[in-house]
Structure 1
Amino acid sequence: MPIQFDPIQQCFHLRNQTMSYIIGIEKEAYLTHRYWGEKLPTYHGSNALQMVDRGFATNPFPEERTFSLNALPLETSTQGNGDHRVANYQIRNSKNHTVTNFLYDSYQIKKGKEAIPGLPSLRATTDDAETLEIVLKDTIQQLEMRLIYTLFENYPMITRRVVYTNNGSQTVALENAGSMLLDLSDCEFDFLTLDGSHTNEANLNRQKIRPGIQKIESTRGTSSPQHQPFLALVEPTTSEFQGSVYAFHFVYSGNFIAQVELEQYGTTRVQMGIHPDHFEWQLAPNTHFYTPEVVLNYSNAGFNGLSQTFHQVYQQHLIAPTWQKEARPILLNTWEGNYFDLSEEKLIAQAKKAASLGIELFVLDDGWFGKRNHDDSSLGDWFVNQEKLPHGIEGLAKEVHRLGMKFGLWFEPEMVSKQSDLFKAHPDWALQVPNYPLTEGRRQLVLDLSQPAVQDYLIAVLGDHLATGQIDYIKWDMNRHLTEVGNLFFNTPQQKEISHRYVLGLYRILETLTTQYPHCLFENCSSGGGRFDPGMMYYMPQTWTSDNSDALCRSVIQYGYSYLYPPIMMGAHVSSAPNHQVGRLTPLETRGWMAMSGNFGYELDFETLSPEELAEVQQQIAFYQKHRQLFQFGQFYRLQAPDAYFASAWLFTNEEEAIAIYFNGLSRPAMPTKYLKMRYLDPAATYLDLATNEAFSGAELNQAGVLIPRVKRDFHTQVFHWKKQ
């Protein structure tokens, strides 16, 4: 897996068994992007750069009118001296000038991959990866920029980030600190994103790129449910099963921008990083600024090929090693079954029922602390409500453990209620701007995690609960976006640092707690998918995918998220019917298969179910326990995207078995005859259908497919289960 520098060609070749990425050096000064795609055994510059004398072009070398930075395919932008396209950085000096001149200086190739101070990133050893650092310098201001590329040995994937360094004597303002930029010498792409809203996350959006700039972004303080910090450039003919995809995913949980510019001469520029709006960083002499990491993933096998890489890399190189091979328990969450109506007697009765059905983790959600009987009070007061739980959390947890289950607890640590002891004691701990009113959301304010004192407080409070040894799981919620992003702690020039410092503070808290308590399973939640991003997944190996648990809606939401995340990372629960979010009635069987297609659990009151429904729940749990390895650690493939009737299909497979699930969505008249092709089974193997005892070759199931019978009812599920012979 060498990274090589060719001094004759003046290029770097990052190459493994599946992919090549090539960077050129022009005029011993400027980094150009030359190639990214399928592995090349060698590179000798057959795709030569076109040098043309163009009108309106500026020329760093006056005698060479064919050489212009505005037409070169670059690996990073320039600032104020000829490249007028989307920029990856901007620096303002003490005289308010914003011109810089970063030129190539040197490089270094290292084994392995370094962690980023204060930030999450993919994990790798000296056997997994190799890293290229390219140093650019502005000698006039004594500034340095290090472009850092890590190539993974076994995947068509690299990561990119930047380190900005001030070696001068004056503080400069880093106004834009992008993590990566590259120019692809092609314009025939579609632009793919995952967009949506609260309870309607991860909708696929595919459109042809057009001249100008197309972008997704968040300035909400989090990565947001509106846009996943992800984009892909896709060949027009690419499908789930074939074609090329160039994907970019940002390992960060705050404000971001991800944009594509189709420029005048047919180059497509991609740029990704912290959103420059509401951002600035005072870069003092002899200090560094580390940008978050971007994951670049190439597939020549369509979207399923892309997803296989994301799934494997995130499971093996993103989440904590403790959880990479650890099976997840089947849980019952109390929220939709109880809301704020809690009592120890009621909870113990629910726990006993859950244990009898085979539930493995009992999670106490909101309402257990302070005076929390509604959502207008008590956030921040993380002490037990003795009226509801006279024996405390520890007493309830011991009873749950006695029943043979693990115990989990809900927190929303980043929030504070005005009606709370914490806010009365520390009103300055909320995000705020002097003289302006505090904007509430869900009757709550946001704690200012940029302040070390607030970080230390949350570490201590949650640490006290975890230190009892009674808590096996924490659901970490975050239920609003940031407003009045300012504080009384930092000085005036640093006020635009606070959004990023908030994220750094959050990461410090999570790093401390997950390191001290590595065997506590943390689940990330932000009203569902409001902060479902790789940055959070670094600390928490699973996320509550959406507050919308309706099976039909989830077929779209989970389908979209599966482009990036494996099912084990997506919390999915069987909830009540009618569904609490959309009022839809769906069969318990369908709700079960949809939830089993993620990280399986329940969110309802078992006491309200009929004996027949309880028996079905018990069967679902037993089936999932028996086939947990397939659902949580097998390969997951999408076979049919949700159509106009919300029909969709996917496949789980491993070396022992395979399960294909077809959701028919809404019933339709005159339904065409349909055969579902498996496509990804072992063609040389024989598969025994466990329902009919018939045997078929993998090749036949892949190519001829199976008949989808016509069923005249909505929300029916057809399941095919094969044992590999």
Structure 2
Amino acid sequence: MGIYFDEKQQLFHLQGKNTSYVLQVYGEGYLAHLYWGRKTKNYRHSNELQFADRAFSGNPSTAKDRTFSLDTLPQEYPGYGNTDFRTPAYQVQLDNGTTVTDLRYASHMIRNGKPKLDGLPAVYTEEDNEAETLEITLRDQIAGIAAVLSYTVFHERNVITRSVRLINEGKHPVRLLRALSTNVDFRDSDFDLLQLSGAWGRERHVERHVLRPGLQAVESRRGASSHQQNPFMALLRKGANETSGEVFGFNLVYSGNFTAQAEVDQFSNTRVSIGINPFDFSWLLEEGEAFQCPETVMVYSHEGLGGMSRTFHDLYRTRLVRGSFRDQVRPILVNNWEATYFDFTAEKITEIAKAGKELGIELFVLDDGWFGKRNNDKTSLGDWFVNKEKLPKGLDDLAHSVQELGMQFGLWVEPEMVSAESELYKKHPDWCLHVPDRTCSESRNQLVLDFARKEVRDAVTKMISDVLSSAPVQYVKWDMNRHMTEIGSAALPAERQRETAHRYMLGLYEILETLTSAFSDILFESCSGGGGRFDPGILYYMPQTWASDNTDAISRLKIQYGTSLVYPIISMGAHVSDVPNHQVHRFTSLDIRGDAAMSGNFGYELDLTKLTEVEKEIVKKQVAAYKEIRHLVQFGDFYRLKSPFEGNETAWLFVNMEKSEAAVFYFRVLAEPNASFGKLRLEGLDPERTYEVLGTDEIYGGDELAYSGLSIPASLNGDFQSLFWRFKGI
């Protein structure tokens, strides 16, 4: 395992645990893609590149025969304008106004470990012997442009990460018009495309369709990775499913505008590319300057979607998330938002916290409305000082009151936004994103602060630092409740205005790096109207994300199932809320609400003081049960057993690494008359081990549970039913 270079053939072979990635310097310096898939010991060109004289596929000026065209060559980082008519990975406008470039191989370097990316989040290594990195420099001598392509292969994972650094080595400024992170050319199109799409309240629904000729893409132009699309796509071989078949997954470690696309050309080849969305983007590179593209995580699985997901989960849980909370179990919390919204007092907050403590809950989170004159969502964002009408003794006193109960104290903030009705906006109206002579569009009565500006970043960092230093805060929920419009910065000259959205994201990452480092004892959770910025870029700084503002248990089955395709369960905030549900107005039992939320990072979001005695006993049991299984949910392997996108049932399983303990959840949405008897085949157990079903006298072999299955009791009555089993090896 590692990176092997055949100097004679100019061939690079990257080997991970069970995957190979092969590329070659072809012809007169063109970097060609030869293979990505299941691991091979050697690569000897059994499926060699073939060429023919293709009508209307031109030949590069240096080509010696009419069979060679960049239009048909599978490439690693293609340009446009010199015979490749497919979508390019990059495009540079030179000082003479033209955009034709021709990057050729210049040199390479192989090193142990994985270097950091300047100013950007990325997967990391803790030991140099975990991975090897290949850096290939491509150069256009005429244009004075260089591209350093970085590939990291992990020895014990089926993961390859890629990124690109573009450098202006010439004597004149150039403008990047397109700077994608990754390009992979497959030599066929026998795939389905899978994406995670949705909207506010129904994020990351699984969409799968046949790959068709032409361009198909998912993207965001909203200034954030968004509820609508996620910076992820996967190609699946025909017939690939949850447990078998080849899957190629691509995930961009970035939180802003992105594109992820697959283009099937005239010869049924498939080009996959992913990176910063070129829409409304450009970047001026002065002489000697470089531009770092975000990282792409590429996962190969020959064990279907389940194998892909577990690879992503393990990588992100251990080599993306950082800090002391990476390996700690996460606390069970109660959040007051749906209990009180803006209408609360210090006494009411303390009552909810006290009720939570009596039920075994560990953390109280004070949500929106504690600052400025924030009695509704029309005012005070940016005024990060305590609302003394609600909290007359201040934040510190309230936090200590909660802690005296034996609970941790957490706080909601939304530092990226400003209300037009706020002291901050009155002092600095030019600090929001805006363009000259245009009014600023509002969303949720708020504007976006311009994090491209250093003075804004410094001010926000100080305000939030002062808040977090003023009281014993142990948890922060960092929200962001609108997308960008009128994207312009007063700090940038005209020729750099289209850099604003990316500079904003770099500024956000800078602030998060500063704050999470300075307050390393605080657990940060990200939020963007729920799951509107659920991406690996944010997880690098904040190890968990509020999966959706929609807390309905039935809606959450699809949301959490889809999210689990890429993101680890420990990263998903999931709460039990009141009924009728505040988003979809559905009535469901406390049992199924608990089972759905226990399948994530568990908490409550309702007024605990209004629970009946019967409900309190149910909550106590849920809290106690989660404490017993959270090491499985948060750190175990996850297996999806039944999909809510394919029928009326959902089921999943959590198992520890030793396969000595497991927890299984089953959900049925609607009752059916005269229904057939069902079963669950329990993937992920040890077939050589025997398991007892805790709470019963039942004992089964792991092989029997996997191959024959576990009966679903026919005694379930009514809609919205769930079951929960625990298995322990004996």
> 1:145-294 to 2 correspondence within 5 Å?
145-294=147-296
CA distance in 2, matches of 1:43, 1:140: 34
CA distance in 1, matches of 2:388, 2:63: 79
Residue pair 2:558, 2:645 contacting (<8 A) in 1 also: no
* Residue of structure 2 in register with 1:8 after alignment: 8
* Residue of structure 2 in register with 1:390 after alignment: 392
* Residue of structure 2 in register with 1:76 after alignment: 77
Structure 1: any 5+ residue segments left out of the alignment?
none
CA distance in 1, matches of 2:527, 2:63: 56
Residue pair 1:9, 1:45 contacting (<8 A) in 2 also: no
Matched position secondary structure for 2:521: coil
Instruction: Quote the offset at 1:367 in angstroms.
Output: 0.5
* Residue of structure 2 in register with 1:718 after alignment: 723
CA distance in 1, matches of 2:569, 2:63: 57
Count of residues paired in the alignment: 725
Matched position secondary structure for 1:504: helix
| In the alignment, structure 1 residue 551 sits paired with structure 2 residue 550 | no
Instruction: Quote the offset at 1:628 in angstroms.
Output: 1.9
Q: TM-score, normalised by structure 2?
A: 0.98
| In the alignment, structure 1 residue 651 sits paired with structure 2 residue 656 | no
- Distance 1:645-1:303 versus aligned 2 partners, 3 A rule: closer
| In the alignment, structure 1 residue 345 sits paired with structure 2 residue 347 | yes
Residue pair 2:577, 2:593 contacting (<8 A) in 1 also: yes
Residue pair 1:552, 1:646 contacting (<8 A) in 2 also: no
* Residue of structure 1 in register with 2:448 after alignment: 446
* Residue of structure 2 in register with 1:700 after alignment: 704
Instruction: Quote the offset at 1:71 in angstroms.
Output: 0.3
Residue pair 2:225, 2:257 contacting (<8 A) in 1 also: yes
Instruction: Quote the offset at 1:187 in angstroms.
Output: 0.8
Instruction: Quote the offset at 1:699 in angstroms.
Output: 0.1
CA distance in 2, matches of 1:34, 1:609: 62
CA distance in 1, matches of 2:439, 2:249: 42
Residue pair 1:645, 1:666 contacting (<8 A) in 2 also: no
Overall identity of the aligned pairs, in %: 49
Instruction: Quote the offset at 1:721 in angstroms.
Output: 1.6
| In the alignment, structure 1 residue 34 sits paired with structure 2 residue 34 | yes
Letter in 1 for 2:93: R
CA distance in 1, matches of 2:56, 2:286: 37
* Residue of structure 1 in register with 2:435 after alignment: 433
Letter in 2 for 1:694: E
- Distance 1:643-1:26 versus aligned 2 partners, 3 A rule: closer
Instruction: Quote the offset at 1:442 in angstroms.
Output: 0.6
Letter in 1 for 2:67: T
657, 672, 687: which one pairs with 1:668?
672
CA distance in 1, matches of 2:199, 2:699: 45
Residue pair 1:634, 1:652 contacting (<8 A) in 2 also: yes
CA distance in 2, matches of 1:582, 1:47: 54
Instruction: Quote the offset at 1:357 in angstroms.
Output: 1.0
CA distance in 1, matches of 2:383, 2:645: 47
CA distance in 2, matches of 1:678, 1:627: 17
Task: Note the alpha carbon deviations across 1:402-446, whole angstroms, 9 max, x for none.
Answer: 111111000010110010000000000011011111100011111
| In the alignment, structure 1 residue 472 sits paired with structure 2 residue 474 | yes
542, 546, 550: which one pairs with 1:540?
542
Residue pair 1:511, 1:539 contacting (<8 A) in 2 also: yes
- Distance 1:270-1:340 versus aligned 2 partners, 3 A rule: same
Matched position secondary structure for 1:659: strand
| In the alignment, structure 1 residue 117 sits paired with structure 2 residue 115 | no
Instruction: Quote the offset at 1:669 in angstroms.
Output: 1.9
CA distance in 2, matches of 1:46, 1:28: 22
CA distance in 2, matches of 1:42, 1:561: 36
Greater alpha carbon shift after TM alignment, 527-536 vs 650-659: 650-659
Instruction: Quote the offset at 1:647 in angstroms.
Output: 1.2
* Residue of structure 2 in register with 1:630 after alignment: 632
Residue pair 2:109, 2:135 contacting (<8 A) in 1 also: yes
Instruction: Quote the offset at 1:504 in angstroms.
Output: 0.4
Structure 2: any 5+ residue segments left out of the alignment?
none
Instruction: Quote the offset at 1:28 in angstroms.
Output: 3.8
Matched position secondary structure for 2:198: strand
Instruction: Quote the offset at 1:570 in angstroms.
Output: 0.2
Residue pair 1:477, 1:526 contacting (<8 A) in 2 also: yes
Residue pair 2:16, 2:159 contacting (<8 A) in 1 also: no
Residue pair 1:645, 1:665 contacting (<8 A) in 2 also: no
CA distance in 1, matches of 2:260, 2:645: 28
CA distance in 2, matches of 1:657, 1:584: 34
Instruction: Quote the offset at 1:76 in angstroms.
Output: 1.1
What is the RMSD of the two structures over their aligned residues, measured on CA atoms? Answer: 1.0
CA distance in 2, matches of 1:47, 1:495: 47
Instruction: Quote the offset at 1:469 in angstroms.
Output: 5.4
CA distance in 2, matches of 1:507, 1:480: 18
528, 531, 538: which one pairs with 1:529?
531
Instruction: Quote the offset at 1:645 in angstroms.
Output: 5.0
CA distance in 2, matches of 1:165, 1:228: 29
CA distance in 1, matches of 2:637, 2:212: 35
CA distance in 2, matches of 1:26, 1:469: 62
Q: TM-score, normalised by structure 1?
A: 0.99
Greater alpha carbon shift after TM alignment, 21-30 vs 239-248: 21-30
Residue pair 2:395, 2:471 contacting (<8 A) in 1 also: no
CA distance in 2, matches of 1:251, 1:588: 37
CA distance in 1, matches of 2:722, 2:458: 49
CA distance in 2, matches of 1:466, 1:193: 38
Greater alpha carbon shift after TM alignment, 317-326 vs 155-164: 317-326
CA distance in 2, matches of 1:302, 1:469: 48
* Residue of structure 2 in register with 1:132 after alignment: 134
Residue pair 2:80, 2:86 contacting (<8 A) in 1 also: no
| In the alignment, structure 1 residue 492 sits paired with structure 2 residue 497 | no
Residue pair 2:329, 2:631 contacting (<8 A) in 1 also: yes
Letter in 2 for 1:270: V
| In the alignment, structure 1 residue 685 sits paired with structure 2 residue 689 | yes
Residue pair 1:191, 1:232 contacting (<8 A) in 2 also: yes
* Residue of structure 1 in register with 2:66 after alignment: 65
Task: Note the alpha carbon deviations across 1:51-73, whole angstroms, 9 max, x for none.
Answer: 10111121123531111000011
Instruction: Quote the offset at 1:152 in angstroms.
Output: 1.0
Moved over 4 A (4+): none
* Residue of structure 1 in register with 2:577 after alignment: 575
Instruction: Quote the offset at 1:643 in angstroms.
Output: 4.9
Residue pair 1:221, 1:254 contacting (<8 A) in 2 also: yes
Matched position secondary structure for 1:326: coil
Residue pair 2:399, 2:471 contacting (<8 A) in 1 also: no
CA distance in 2, matches of 1:379, 1:667: 46
Matched position secondary structure for 1:322: coil
Letter in 1 for 2:575: H
Residue pair 2:441, 2:485 contacting (<8 A) in 1 also: yes
Matched position secondary structure for 1:388: coil
Instruction: Quote the offset at 1:321 in angstroms.
Output: 3.5
Instruction: Quote the offset at 1:323 in angstroms.
Output: 2.1
Residue pair 1:645, 1:667 contacting (<8 A) in 2 also: no
Instruction: Quote the offset at 1:106 in angstroms.
Output: 0.7
Task: Note the alpha carbon deviations across 1:560-586, whole angstroms, 9 max, x for none.
Answer: 000111211000000001100001111
Matched position secondary structure for 1:200: coil
Greater alpha carbon shift after TM alignment, 686-695 vs 571-580: 686-695
Instruction: Quote the offset at 1:10 in angstroms.
Output: 2.1
* Residue of structure 1 in register with 2:47 after alignment: 47
Instruction: Quote the offset at 1:722 in angstroms.
Output: 1.3
Letter in 1 for 2:100: V
Instruction: Quote the offset at 1:692 in angstroms.
Output: 2.3
* Residue of structure 2 in register with 1:18 after alignment: 18
Instruction: Quote the offset at 1:322 in angstroms.
Output: 1.7
Instruction: Quote the offset at 1:644 in angstroms.
Output: 5.7
378, 381, 384: which one pairs with 1:379?
381
